[in-house]
Amino acid sequence: MSVSLSAAVAAAVEGHLRHQATLEYLAAYEQEHGAFTAEEKQEAAGIWARAEELEGQSRGVG
């Protein structure tokens, strides 16, 4: 299956904008509630890794 260039660019831009929005949200959250602890960051990293693993499995990757 081939992906058009415009679809690839649109997906990249969407990913970038989602990443920027997430960074802004997390910065605002930390400003209001205080910085995340090392344990919270480690837990979030584990959750994120598991989500990526499941997404890859649903796509038939890995």
Could you report the per-residue pLDDT of 15-58, keeping only the tens digit for each?
999 999 999 999 999 999 999 999 999 999 999 999 999 988 88
Distance CA 6, CA 12 (A): 10
Could you report the per-residue pLDDT of 3-19, keeping only the tens digit for each?
899 999 999 999 999 99
The answer to whether 38 touches 32, Cβ cutoff 8 Å, is: no
Instruction: Please say whether the dihedral angle defined by the alpha carbons of residues 28, 33, 36 and 40, taken in this order, is positive or negative.
Output: negative
Half-sphere exposure for 53 (CA within 13 Å, toward CB) = 6
